[in-house]
Amino acid sequence: MPNVEGFLWTCEIPGCGELVYKRGSCLEHYKEKNKAHNKERGNWRQKKTWKRVRLLVLIRDDYQCQIKWRGCSVIAITADHIVPERDGGSRFDMVNLQAACEKCNSAKELKDRQTRDYAEIDRKRYGQVGGPPPGWRNW
């Protein structure tokens, strides 16, 4: 619930009462939540193997963004999976990685998610991806 000025909220954890600037939990509860989440997920981006592979990809591509979409900053600081892991791409395979700037990497991820969402809608609606089957009419 916001305070009188409308800029501070109380922590979302019942009984805490700590004031926060954004809606959500206080720093202590936020850390607890993230610790549990990272333990579940394994947070592989913090591990040495990923850091080494990422650095090798950036060196291989000469720190140049390989996606180069509109608004590209050209200087790459991230390694992007060409085929996402959820689609069967390998996590540490350098053939599946390319150097990318933050803008292009974020834009590509957003586009992939939107494409995935539309494909899921088609699957639910028509039983296949790519729209209705031939000869189908919407009466």
Please give the pLDDT value at position 111: 87
Q: Does residue 134 fall inside a structural domain?
A: no
Are 52 and 13 in the same domain?
Answer: no
Domain count for the chain, please give it. 2
Please give the pLDDT value at position 139: 45
Q: Does residue 88 fall inside a structural domain?
A: yes
The Cα 84–Cα 65 span in angstroms is 18
Which of residues 41 and 56 earns the better pLDDT score?
56
The sign of the dihedral angle between the CA atoms of 93, 95, 101, 104 is negative
Please give the pLDDT value at position 2: 46
Q: Does residue 62 fall inside a structural domain?
A: yes
pLDDT tens digits along 96-131: 999 999 999 999 988 888 877 776 766 666 666 665
Are 50 and 97 in the same domain?
Answer: yes
Are 60 and 96 in the same domain?
Answer: yes
In single-letter form, the type of residue at position 138 comes to: N
Q: Does residue 113 fall inside a structural domain?
A: no
The Cα 106–Cα 112 span in angstroms is 10
Instruction: Single out the residue of 39, 6, 37, 40 nearest to residue 23, CA to CA.
Output: 6
Are 37 and 21 in the same domain?
Answer: yes
Q: How far is CA 98 from the centre of its chain?
A: 16
In single-letter form, the type of residue at position 29 comes to: H
Q: What percent of the chain has pLDDT over 70?
A: 71
Are 52 and 97 in the same domain?
Answer: yes
pTM: 0.56
Q: Does residue 74 fall inside a structural domain?
A: yes
Mean of pLDDT over the chain: 78
> Which residues span the domain enclosing 34?
9-41
Q: Does residue 91 fall inside a structural domain?
A: yes
Cβ-contact 86, 109 below 8 angstroms: no
